[in-house]
Amino acid sequence: MRIVILGGGFGGLNSALWLGEKLQDSHHEVILISDKPEFLFRPSLIWVPFGSRKIDDISFPLSSTLEKAGVQFILNKVEQIFPKDKKVVLQDQTTLDFDFLVIATSGFPDYESIDGLKGNTSSIYHREDSLKTKERIESLKSGEPIVIGISQGNPGPSIAYEFLFEMDAFLKQNKIESLITFFTYEEELLDLSAEKASKRLEKHMEEKEILYYCNVTLEKVDEEKIYLSNGKSIPYSFSLILPMYRGADYIFNSNHIEHENGLIIVNHHLQSIKWDNIYAVGDAILIKDMPMLKNGRAAELEGHIAAKNIYSQLQGEPPKEEYQDSLLGLMELGTDGGMFMVKYPTSKLASSFFEWASDGAIPHLMKIAYEKYYMWKLS
């Protein structure tokens, strides 16, 4: 049997390594296809615009890691999938047959979902945008108003909080006097996280005198102002706004795969709701009855679940592993160190949770240590 994994990030690489090691001495074949030759530790993109990390510090080549695990690597871009014929078409027009498929090509910021947002916001989602944002930040001058925000439907809000606090620290270090305004669609600051985290964030915002609005939607953006549902129109010279996600372009070119805005709809086993040999993991997915925070840890867990379920199917058994949402997060707080957040369901129905948050220098050091450990473990 041939298992093909699309995407060499958190979800795809972890699926591939698990299956590669498990199936090393078998007649099964594991192939990973990615459009980039490296794995990129995207959580550390938060530091790239402020000069404390270079892209080379937070990436490593996929080929040697995959080779050690017995996984074949193909550097190419996926253009289309044919679920019924079990084929993947690549950019160079070659096709590849599969028996099982794991889609792990992530979600992409859907800037077109908000009127005027495209072209009027900076981004730190990928390597190229982080480097472009770095150039823009290096030219910031006192008096330029800054808006940082999270628009409705964004599934990874902590990225905006980290950027906000790093920006505040950068302005202070460089003696740039600019007003920052923050907004979010969340009812309270980071409200899908631990309850204590919201309270601590409120305290940090007040101490840093950052003006913020919760529970607002972003109505439109033009070259000078952003317009919120509470009637405020806020002038900006620099903005970083997180939108909802959409799936990779090739999903829109592929027929017969159930998706919403390109995000693959899966069940709790992470199987496509239409095809039981197609799995999807990470930022690329949607589970209809489960509100999920998208992050690297979730993508890694999901990558392992999909791999284990495929392994069960190879043994002639049904998939057994199910995904349950939980949070174990480390977030930067600029001059105040970092924050460690935990939110774990205490019942299978996720009706009650164990919640905890702590901030200061130790979570910041833990975040750095985790980056180093992850890079060492996988490279």
Ligand X SMILES: Cc1cc2nc3c(=O)[nH]c(=O)nc-3n(C[C@H](O)[C@H](O)[C@H](O)COP(=O)(O)OP(=O)(O)OC[C@H]3O[C@@H](n4cnc5c(N)ncnc54)[C@H](O)[C@@H]3O)c2cc1C
Q: How many CB atoms lie within 10 A of CB 273?
A: 16
Q: Measured from the CB atom, is 294 or 364 closer to ligand X?
A: 294
Q: Measured from the CB atom, is 23 or 32 closer to ligand X?
A: 32
What string of H, E and C letters represents the secondary structure of the chain?
A: CEEEEECCCHHHHHHHHHHHHHCCCCCCEEEEEECCCEEECHHHHHHHHHCCCCHHHHEEEHHHHHHHCCCEEEECCEEEEECCCCEEEECCCCEEECCEEEECCCCEECHHHCECCCCCCECCCCHHHHHHHHHHHHCCCCCCCEEEEECCCCCCCHHHHHHHHHHHHHHHHCCCCCCEEEEECCCCCCCCCCHHHHHHHHHHHHHCCCEEECCCCEEEECCCEEEECCCCEEECCEEEEECCEECCHHHHHCCCCCEECCEEEECCCCEECCCCCEEECHHHEECCCCCCCCCHHHHHHHHHHHHHHHHHHHCCCCCCCCCCCCEEEEEECHHHCEEEEEEEECCCCCCCEEEEEEEEHHHHHHHHHHHHHHHHHHC
Q: Measured from the CB atom, is 77 or 208 closer to ligand X?
A: 77
Cβ 341 to ligand X shortest distance, Å: 10
* Residue showing the smallest CB distance to ligand X in the complex: 9
112 contacts 214 by C-beta, under 8 angstroms: no
Q: Measured from the CB atom, is 4 or 147 closer to ligand X?
A: 4
Cβ 316 to ligand X shortest distance, Å: 29
Q: Measured from the CB atom, is 114 or 299 closer to ligand X?
A: 299
Cβ 39 to ligand X shortest distance, Å: 7
The answer for residues whose C-beta is within 8 angstroms of residue 162's C-beta and 6 or more apart is 46, 331, 332
Cβ 110 to ligand X shortest distance, Å: 14
Q: Measured from the CB atom, is 6 or 96 closer to ligand X?
A: 6
Q: Measured from the CB atom, is 243 or 296 closer to ligand X?
A: 296
Q: Measured from the CB atom, is 34 or 121 closer to ligand X?
A: 34
Residues engaged in binding ligand X (CB under 6 A): 6-12, 33-36, 42-43, 45-46, 77-78, 104-106, 124-125, 156, 159, 248, 250, 282-284, 294-297, 299, 329-330
Cβ 331 to ligand X shortest distance, Å: 6
Cβ 158 to ligand X shortest distance, Å: 6
Q: Measured from the CB atom, is 41 or 227 closer to ligand X?
A: 41
Cβ 18 to ligand X shortest distance, Å: 14
CA nearest to 279, candidates 252, 245, 302: 302
Cβ 20 to ligand X shortest distance, Å: 16
Cβ 77 to ligand X shortest distance, Å: 4
